[in-house]
């Protein structure tokens, strides 16, 4: 494992975290860094820091919608705004924590399925039946998944990870750390790459 790490603090409910997700594996590979995935609950981060979703300011929301489309075109990746946004992600992020803890070999398949379902396929991941269908299509046992996310240990892990993100300085998603340097937003990935290249 590389001694150089790129930490990705994310929530599936963030379209800008999705955009970053499409680029980070390549950046890590090209810079020789190890990509460390750090699930957190964006709602918990907002509550702890006093931050608010960008869409709560209508003018900012309109601008951000257009800007995200520019970034998707720039990187040549699909991005379809989800009509069910904002997405309730508590179960989804508990799932990420549970898989990291118990089935790390399945984690990346889960991440791919959730980001694609949210920001390409427009699935309503806040609906239990629809989530179960997405999980099943991705090769997961939906009933076992729901049992896992109900485990108090898994619930506590998400709380701890969210608190750790806030303690490091995170106030939203996506947030990245290269050593002690923090970067926020998919539009800062050039600086992330620069920091990794210098590490």
Give catalytic residues, as residue numbers: 14
Distant-in-sequence, close-in-space partners of 95: CB < 8 Å, separation ≥ 6: 110, 114, 145, 148, 149
- 196, 6 contact by CB (below 8 A): yes
- 178, 196 contact by CB (below 8 A): yes
Is the bond preceding 126 in cis, omega lying within 30 degrees of 0? no
| Closest by Cα among 14, 175, 170 to 86 | 14
Rounded distance between C-alpha atoms, residue 105 and residue 143, angstroms: 19
Burial class (CB in 10 A: 0-12, 13-18, 19+), 167: exposed
Burial class (CB in 10 A: 0-12, 13-18, 19+), 187: middle
| Closest by Cα among 186, 141, 165, 143 to 49 | 165
């Amino acid at each position: 494992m590389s001694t150089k790490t790129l930490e990705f603090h994310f929530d599936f409910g963030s379209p800008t975290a999705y955009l970053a997700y499409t680029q980070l594996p390549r950046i890590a590979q090209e810079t020789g860094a190890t990509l460390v995935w750090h699930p957190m609950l964006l709602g918990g981060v907002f509550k702890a820091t006093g931050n608010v979703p960008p869409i709560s300011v209508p003018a900012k929301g309109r601008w951000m919608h257009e800007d995200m489309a520019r970034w998707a075109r720039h990187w040549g990746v699909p991005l379809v705004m989800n009509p069910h946004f904002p997405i309730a992600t508590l179960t989804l992020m508990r799932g990420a924590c549970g898989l990291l803890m118990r089935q790390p070999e399945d984690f990346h398949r889960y991440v791919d399925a959730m980001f694609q379902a949210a920001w390409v396929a427009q699935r309503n991941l806040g609906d239990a039946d629809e989530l179960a269908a997405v999980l099943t299509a991705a090769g997961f046992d939906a009933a076992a998944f729901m049992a896992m996310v109900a485990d108090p240990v898994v619930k506590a892990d998400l709380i701890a990870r969210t608190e750790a993100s806030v303690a490091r300085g995170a106030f939203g998603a996506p947030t990245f750390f290269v050593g002690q340097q923090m970067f926020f937003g998919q539009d800062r990935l050039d600086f992330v790459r620069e920091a990794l290249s210098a590490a």
